[in-house]
């Protein structure tokens, strides 16, 4: 199970856990990210409305997202809450946990290739990836970018790990293509203005490998399919600026905005 570099969760943090025991007035949750430390949910923290029996709302074996309400490291007590969590936050935490499960599988493969065990991989690089990128999964995503390997190196990831992380990510992660768009308004009042605009767009389409769609005069849509949205947005902006500059040189004018 995905692990955190910290030994204890912090107050206000969202955690993932599995319900291990339930009685009328409380439920006990094993916190998998924190070495299966046990947290307790009092009946008053289960729901916003009054309830008479926790067992009617929480079941043994149930996977839950809980808010850390109180932490007493001396006594070893962790108090949790369900009622203080917004549904959207709980859903995002669960998605993050699933991403980290995938990342742990890739980290396990990194460990295998470097001939170390998973615990050693966490100590040597896993926790560093968490702290540097916020999630291990984001590190594996980042390394697939055109300059991703260099980003890992610049952020202090040792070269021997960066190489294997890149290799594992390339084998196990599929980067989906997305479409980024920019909206152009182009005008040219010369007698052959329509043809001038068409030719400028045709040149840009070939130069930047993008699609151009006519919406309604004077509006056009530029569409670029890419696996790297941020780089795609930058390229699309460059293309739009190039189109407008070329059109101005030919007696036209234009403007654009991201779409």
pLDDT per position as a tens digit, 19-64 = 999 999 999 999 989 999 999 999 999 999 999 999 999 999 999 9
Residues of the chain with CATH 2.40.50.140: 14-84
Intervals of CATH 3.30.70.1130 along the chain: 178-258
Range list for CATH 1.10.150.190 in the chain: 88-172
Is 27:43 a contact under the CB 8 Å cutoff?
A: no
- What are residue 224's DSSP bridge partners? 180
Find residue 222's DSSP bridge partners.
182, 212
The architecture (CATH level 2) of 14-84 comes to Beta Barrel (2.40)
Cα 148 to Cα 154, 172, 213, distances in angstroms: 10, 16, 32
Q: Is the pTM of this model over 0.95?
A: no
Residue 211: predicted pLDDT: 94
Domain 88-172 grouped into CATH 1.10.150.190: yes
Sign of the torsion formed by the C-alpha atoms of 117, 118, 119 and 125: positive
* CATH architecture of the domain covering 178-258: 2-Layer Sandwich (3.30)
Q: How confident is the prediction along the chain (259 residues), in pLDDT tens digits per residue?
A: 788 889 999 999 999 999 999 999 999 999 989 999 999 999 999 999 999 999 999 999 999 999 999 999 999 999 999 999 999 999 999 999 999 999 999 999 999 999 999 999 999 999 999 999 999 999 999 999 889 999 999 999 999 999 999 999 999 998 788 899 999 999 999 999 999 999 999 999 999 999 999 999 899 999 999 888 888 889 999 999 999 999 999 999 999 886 6
Residue 244 in contact with residue 254, Cβ under 8 Å?
yes
Alpha-helix runs per DSSP H in the chain:
87-113, 118-121, 127-133, 136-142, 148-154, 159-172, 193-208, 229-249
Burial degree of 154 (CB within 10 A; 0-12, 13-18, 19+): exposed
């Amino acid at each position: 199970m995905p692990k955190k570099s910290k030994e204890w969760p912090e107050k206000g943090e969202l955690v993932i856990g599995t319900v291990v025991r339930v009685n009328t007035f409380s439920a006990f949750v094993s916190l998998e990210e924190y070495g299966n430390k046990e947290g307790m949910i009092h009946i008053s923290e289960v729901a916003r409305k009054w309830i008479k029996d926790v067992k009617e709302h929480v079941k043994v074996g149930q996977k839950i997202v809980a808010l850390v309400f109180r932490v007493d490291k001396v006594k070893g007590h962790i108090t949790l809450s369900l009622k203080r969590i917004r549904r959207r936050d709980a859903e995002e935490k669960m998605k993050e946990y699933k991403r980290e499960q995938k990342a742990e599988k890739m980290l396990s493969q990194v460990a295998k290739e470097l001939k170390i065990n998973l615990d050693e991989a966490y100590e040597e690089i896993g926790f560093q990836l968490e702290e540097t990128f916020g999630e291990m999964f984001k590190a594996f995503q980042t390394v697939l970018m055109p300059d991703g390997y260099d980003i890992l190196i610049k952020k202090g990831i040792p070269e021997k790990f960066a190489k294997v992380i890149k290799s594992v990510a390339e084998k196990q992660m599929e980067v989906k293509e997305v479409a980024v768009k920019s909206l152009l308004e182009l005008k040219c009042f010369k007698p052959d203005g329509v043809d001038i605009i068409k030719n400028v767009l045709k040149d840009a389409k070939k130069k930047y490998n993008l699609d151009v769609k006519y919406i309604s005069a004077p509006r056009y849509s530029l569409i670029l399919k890419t696996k790297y949205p941020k780089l795609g947005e930058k390229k699309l902006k460059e293309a739009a600026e190039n189109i407008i500059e070329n059109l101005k040189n030919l007696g036209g004018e234009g403007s654009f905005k991201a779409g």
